[in-house]
């Protein structure tokens, strides 16, 4: 679950949640709606600009998911993302599970997930 001290950032025209500003000392790191970092620690204005520029495009990309007991991460796509829950599906034909298998991850996902 997203911590209470993270500041939500919404798109101006439709009030859609784009992500959060995660406090780091007296600066901020822009993160996705599920807490994945989208940029370096910066001032509030720059962090908001990063979230506006990226929008929700990160939801359409491929990600890599690290699994316990498997040396290589697998390719996944996001099927559901919110401040409470993240669900991804397997799109890696080299993984022994069925294509489309769903994994539910903690929010924020920590080191388990990264952009491909």
Q: What is the pLDDT of residues 48-85, one digit of tens each?
A: 999 999 999 999 999 999 999 899 999 999 999 999 99
Same domain, 67 and 38: no
Answer yes or no: do 66 and 22 share one domain.
no
68 within some domain: yes
Joined tokens for residue 17 = 């949640």
Query: Are residues 63 and 48 part of one domain?
Result: no
Confidence tier at 101 by pLDDT (50, 70, 90) = very high
- Based on the structure, what is the number of domains in the chain? 2
Q: Give CA separation, 55 vs 48, 67, 96, 102, 103, in Å.
A: 10, 28, 33, 24, 24
Residues 108 and 75 in one domain: yes
The answer, yes or no, to whether residue 97 has pLDDT greater than 90, is: no
**Pair (78, 53) in one structural domain:** no
Domain endpoint, select from 33, 57, 81: 57
Residues 107, 87, single domain; the answer is yes
Supply the pTM of this predicted model: 0.91
Residue 14 lies in a domain: yes
Cα–Cα dist 32/110, whole Å: 12
Q: Name the nearest CA neighbour of 51 among 62, 35, 66, 75.
A: 35
Residue 1 lies in a domain: no
Are 53 and 63 within one domain? no
- Domain range enclosing 41: 7-57
Bridge partners (DSSP) of residue 80 are 87
């Amino acid at each position: 679950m997203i911590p209470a001290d993270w500041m939500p950032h919404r798109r101006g025209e439709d009030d859609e949640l784009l992500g959060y500003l995660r406090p780091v000392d007296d600066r901020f790191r822009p993160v996705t709606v599920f807490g994945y970092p989208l940029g370096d620690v910066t001032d509030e204005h720059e962090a908001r600009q990063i979230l506006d520029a990226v929008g929700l495009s990160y939801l359409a990309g491929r990600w890599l998911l690290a699994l316990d007991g498997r040396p290589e991460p697998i390719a996944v796509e996001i099927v559901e993302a919110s401040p409470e829950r993240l669900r991804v599906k397997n799109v890696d034909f080299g993984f022994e599970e069925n294509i489309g298998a769903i994994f539910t991850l903690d929010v924020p996902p920590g080191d388990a997930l990264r952009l491909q």
